[in-house]
Amino acid sequence: MASSNKGEATIQAWYMNETDEDQRLPHHCDPPEYVSLDKLAELGVLYWHLDADNYETDEEFNKIRESRGYTYSDLITCCPDKLPNYECKLKSFYEEHIHTDEEIRFLLEGSGYFDVRDNNDRWIRIWVKKGDMIVLPAGIYHRFTMDSDNHTKALRLFVGEPVWTPYNRPQDDHPIRKQYVEAFIEKDQGSHAVEAH
Ligand SMILES: CSCCC(=O)/C(O)=C/O
Ligand SMILES: [Fe+2]
């Protein structure tokens, strides 16, 4: 299942314009081009809206955690007092990169933007807010920025011992990138090739 919209909330995602404006602004196209949860799921991005205030005892959260094997968790608060090397970290979060594992974040407070590349290498901006849990698959090109509210507190989850290393683009020969492309990009081109005949 790609999503759950408990409490009416749903995620907002859209194609970005490529202007040099402040990264914390929404960067909508003109007119705005919204992106559906199905499109995100095609790229391997998963989303749930959950109870951020009582997540420790939340059945849905615990089910996801168990079924996906998320044995590790910790908290990250993006503010100068709580995040060592704040400026440097924010800069590195916004460098386009991949990881060798899923990136799993559950927003407990505040909001922010995860940007992911689609199958045509266009940026999709995903606006995450309190209660949103998002999974980015290993090998997807992505980045993160705070929005103009400047406050993000998130639970980070991981399967086993966490590895946070970002591999900045280009990583087209990285085995994990190749696996991602085969699973989520080439399968798409294959189905269009069949349709075209
Ligand atoms: C809201 S968590 C901060 C962003 C982050 O941890 C990361 O790895 C971005 O790619
Ligand atoms: Fe990342």
pLDDT at residue 182 tops 50: yes
| Ligand approaching nearest to the C-alpha of 162 | 1
- Measured CA to CA, the distance from residue 136 to residue 128 in angstroms comes to 13
Residue ranges per domain, the chain? 6-192
Q: How many CB atoms lie within 10 A of CB 3?
A: 16
pLDDT at position 187 is 80
Which residue puts its alpha carbon closest to atom 8 of ligand 1? 93
Token digits for 177?
């990138």
Whether residue 113 contacts residue 125, with contact meaning beta carbons closer than 8 Å, is answered with yes
Q: What is the pLDDT of residues 30-82, one digit of tens each?
A: 999 999 999 999 999 999 999 999 999 999 999 999 999 999 999 999 998 99
pLDDT at position 9 is 67
Bigger pLDDT: 45 vs 187: 45
Pairing type for strands 46-49 and 142-145 reads unpaired
Could you name the CATH architecture of 6-192?
Sandwich (2.60)
| Ligand approaching nearest to the C-alpha of 90 | 1
197 appears as a binding residue in the annotation? no
97 appears as a binding residue in the annotation? yes
In the chain, the percentage of residues whose pLDDT exceeds 90 is 88
pTM of the model: 0.92
pLDDT at residue 87 tops 50: yes
Rounded to the nearest 5 degrees, what angle is found at the Cα of 10, between the Cα atoms of 63 and 32? 145
pLDDT at position 10 is 81
Task: Report CA(144)–ligand 1 centroid distance (Å).
Answer: 6
Mean pLDDT score across all residues of the chain: 93
Q: Which atom of ligand 1 is nearest to the CA of 76?
A: 2
pLDDT at position 153 is 98
